[in-house]
Structure 1
Amino acid sequence: MSIIILQLSQNAQHTYTGLGILEFFKDIPVALVSIFLVDYIKKKSYYLSLGFALLICAVCSFSIPFLTEFWFLKIWFVLIGISFSIGKICVFSIIKNTTDTEKEFSITMSRTEAAFMLGIFIVNMEFALILSSDYQEFWRFGFWLVGIISLWSAVQFIKHHRRHNNDKPADVKSSKIDFRILTDRNALLFLFLISLIIFAEQIFNSWLPTFYKKSLNSSSFFALQSSAFLAFFSFLGRIVTTKFIHKFSPMKIFFASLVSGIILIISAYFISQENDIGAKILMFIFPFIGFFMAPLYPMLNSKFLAKYPEKKISRMVSFIILFTSLGGSIGSISTAYIFQKNLEHYYLLFASIPLILILVISSFFSIKEHSN
């Protein structure tokens, strides 16, 4: 998303708000699939479903260089959203089925999310190199690397399914959408906090390169490197989390990361206001925010899902995906509006708002939970 926004925002035909809408086309299918297909995915087995999702991703990646119309990008993101949703349901469920304790769940979640961020780092570095070369007009072919990896992974998951075919539940009954989850105060609060985390992550993941290029006047190469190193530091943050979780509870790590992230963002805002030297310093230090943002999502997930009944885990995961999809879409569209109105100087202050809300709400919840 960040790569496409960065490249197309340089075309006068595309507005920032128009590009922000692309997030909606990715996230709404994610929400719908997570609600309506969760039981079907369980019946077909998680590994086979993962293989199917990756095949969709491979087809999309190989086709994007040849279909350049903006309407195709909307369809492209719908298909990517569907495959992402299927993958997320499967991965959450596999982790839940193969871990027993909260700490084991947290460690596995952090390692999985770390691998996710490492993938983002590699792809962003690839595109940064392409855009700084003599072949920058062929940047869309960079998605072929994603296509090759997706195709290879799909084959591995399908082979695993054929060899074992034992990840499918013995008896999976179709169930109606259980909206009673939304009447549970703890579940609703958890879902709201998760959506705020993704809201904040989307502000950085999709729009940080655009902020670097428009507000800090960096090159496309350096702008994409900012996104790559944001992912790299997120990778490090999640790896370090797996070490600290043996000594500290997930919520202690959560609060320490959250407060550190807020301090860094607000400090970065004031540094950027000083002068050109301050802006250059910001270019190098700001991606480090990924280190503090990274533990928030897996730690909160592990705290809540580790004690959630195994029979209901897939349904709860579908609601997590629904709320994170909405949070991501709203975050991207809101940020697009800031750039459209030439308010990018307030980008960092805007990014701190969801984190401050998370701190206030989760602190209150933690006190109430402790008193009970």
Structure 2
Amino acid sequence: MFAILLNSVGTVILQSINSFDVTKVQASVLEGYKDLTIALVSFVIASFIPRIGYKFAMLFALAAVALICLLIPTIAQFYGFKLLFAVIGCSFAIMKISVYSVIGQVTDGANKHSALLNTIEGIFMLGVLSGYWVFSGFIDNTDVHSKTWLDVYYLLAAFVGVAFLAVLVAPIKAQNAGQLPHNQWQAFIEMLKLTYKPLVIIFIISAFLYVLIEQGVGTWLPTFNNQVLKLPVDISIQLASVFAAALALGRLVAGQMLRFIGWYQLLLGCLLAMAALVLLVLPLTHHVDGSNINSLLDVPLAAYLLPLIGFFMAPLYPLLNSVMLSSLEQHQHAAMTGLIVVFSALGGTTGSIITGLVFDTLSGQHAFYLTLIPISFLLISVTLFKKMTLSLHPSAS
């Protein structure tokens, strides 16, 4: 459910431009309401969640999201989406910290941790994929200004209610009180101390750059399809699901490839493939005119190739997270996850706003060419991250 809601921001940006007559730059702030809230809440409460209990935290987050989804069709104004994504961001921060921390309770060793984390992230991407189709099913192509698509939030509220019941009956353990710091201030200070570790600093930089790329591409892909490739709105949104499908498939394939090659070699190859795809595919999109296309089967090949960048970027995030978390004690996972969420959120907002500004000022092609810069920096940061993990764990591959 959080995959569907969080990654609906690209669809909502496109629909806000059509339904509420806002500019691209104005619409781009929705990513900030989502990601900056995630960052702030993660920073403030990451060390506090183990004290109140992971189960209670998850239930609170789901209840808040269900309530705001029920209100959105009634509000039916652009400011309502700012509120929506702020609540979603707050709730997601709580949920992700809780879920990542619980992984350490049910796994032993780095390999099992990585396997379960990749499975969770893979299911998350299936949620992203389904979200595009859920939203497109409520869009009226005959009237781009229609607000009937807002009814999708009633359906989403019902699904969140099902998730609430699932968490309610799940046997989630509370954190062992003996492993918790004596007071909340001490817990917060210990989280901040993690940022002094060189390995954590390089990891944070890598996570920031990855999410900058993913959100920059994923958020603006529906608008790129509609305004650059001239595809109809519903097909533009459905075609963006190829990006999510590529991410999901990439993580599943990566899980199998890690049996045969090291994680660093895999990530290095993925980064080089991402850069090559951007350079090869974007020139082809200059010649696409989908204004007369009415079916996904009629969409030109070039429009399908660009979202495939998701296949190669897919392994980066879960692998980096798993290697980082596996290097820490289990009781530090909530604090580390808080830092992961904070800097991932900042990267997502930065990527979306920069892409939106370049898209509005120059063109969609220029905006996506811009991803080559963070890809280059990622090559450097991932290499440094590998060297540092080797110094801590000489047997790591």
Give the one of 56, 59, 69 matched to 1:51: 59
Instruction: Check 1:288–1:331 CA distance in 2 against 1; reply closer, same or farther (3 A cut).
Output: same
CA displacement 1:103-143 (0-9 Å, x = unmatched): 22221111111111111111211222322567964111112
1:177 paired to 2:189: yes
Give the one of 345, 349, 356 matched to 2:365: 345
Uncovered stretches (5+) of structure 1, i.e. residues with no partner: none
Shift of 1:74: 1.6
Residue identity in the other structure for 1:217 = K
Runs of 4+ in 1 over 4 A off after TM superposition: 132-136, 274-277, 367-372
Instruction: Check 1:286–1:142 CA distance in 2 against 1; reply closer, same or farther (3 A cut).
Output: same
Residues 233 and 289 of structure 1 are in contact (CA less than 8 Å); yes or no, is this contact kept in structure 2?
Answer: yes
Structure 2 residue aligned with 1:321:
341
Shift of 1:352: 2.5
Structure 1 residue aligned with 2:244:
231
Give the one of 113, 117, 125 matched to 2:121: 113
Give the secondary-structure state (helix, strand or coil) at the position aligned to 1:131.
coil
Give the one of 145, 155, 179 matched to 2:165: 155
Distance 1:103 1:256 in 2: 21
1:361 paired to 2:381: yes
Structure 2 residue aligned with 1:216:
229
Structure 2 residue aligned with 1:168:
175
Distance 2:109 2:389 in 1: 20
Q: Could you tell me the TM-score, scaled by structure 2's length?
A: 0.86
Distance 1:335 1:80 in 2: 22
Shift of 1:54: 1.3
Structure 2 residue aligned with 1:269:
282
Give the secondary-structure state (helix, strand or coil) at the position aligned to 2:76.
coil
Distance 2:360 2:98 in 1: 37
Residues 117 and 322 of structure 2 are in contact (CA less than 8 Å); yes or no, is this contact kept in structure 1?
Answer: yes
Give the one of 71, 76, 79 matched to 1:63: 71
Distance 1:200 1:315 in 2: 25
Residues 254 and 300 of structure 1 are in contact (CA less than 8 Å); yes or no, is this contact kept in structure 2?
Answer: no
Structure 1 residue aligned with 2:352:
332
Uncovered stretches (5+) of structure 2, i.e. residues with no partner: 1-8, 291-298
Residue identity in the other structure for 1:191 = I
Aligned length: 368
Residues 103 and 246 of structure 1 are in contact (CA less than 8 Å); yes or no, is this contact kept in structure 2?
Answer: no
RMSD: 2.3
Give the secondary-structure state (helix, strand or coil) at the position aligned to 1:21.
helix
Q: Could you tell me the TM-score, scaled by structure 1's length?
A: 0.92
Shift of 1:85: 0.3
Residue identity in the other structure for 2:93 = S
Equivalent residue runs for 1:32-43 within 5 Å:
32-43=40-51
Distance 1:6 1:53 in 2: 27
Of all paired residues, the percent bearing the same amino acid is: 26
Structure 1 residue aligned with 2:212:
199
